[in-house]
Amino acid sequence: MKRSLIGVLAAASLAGAALATAAPTQAAALPTCTTYREYQGLYVFSTASGSINCQLAAGTRSSGAVPQLQRNLRDCDRYQRDVTVDGIFGQRTVAALRWVQNKEGVPPTGAYGPATRDKMYFMVAGSRTECRPLNA
C-alpha cells in the first residue's frame, strides 16, 4: 500500500512538473485599427468601437487609420517623414514608422501597436503640424 501511494505521488509530481514547464499560450491578437478618434486632445488610431488598443501592419488598407498614421508621420513637426497619404500601409510607411520607433526607443518592427502608441507623438486635434505624446 505504501509503495502504491509513493508511486501515485511520484507520478502526480512528474505530471505537475510537465505542466509547469509547458510553453505558455500566445496572447490573443489585437484587433486592427480601422479609424481614428480624438483622445486626450490628440488624433489617435482606434477600432470602430473606439478602442485605442489595436494594431496596424504592412499590407493594411483603410480610409481612416492608415491615412491618419501617414499624415502623422508626414506632418507631425517631430517626424516629417516622406510618406504619401494613400491609405495603404506599404514599404514607405513601414520605413517611416521604423524611423519613428528608433527615435522614440521602441523596437523597430515597422508595425504599430501598444508599445509604439505609448511612445509615439500624435497630431494635436485641430493642428496641422503640432504633435505630442499621450498623457503629456
What is the residue extent of each domain of the chain? Answer: 35-133
d(CA 101, CA 79): 11
Is the pLDDT reported for residue 133 higher than 50?
Answer: yes
d(CA 122, CA 39): 10
pLDDT at 8: 43
pLDDT digits (tens, 9 = 90+) for 19-77: 343 333 344 699 999 999 999 999 999 999 999 999 999 999 999 999 999 999 999 99
- The CATH number that domain 35-133 falls under is 1.10.101.10
d(CA 46, CA 121): 15
d(CA 124, CA 20): 47
d(CA 106, CA 119): 7
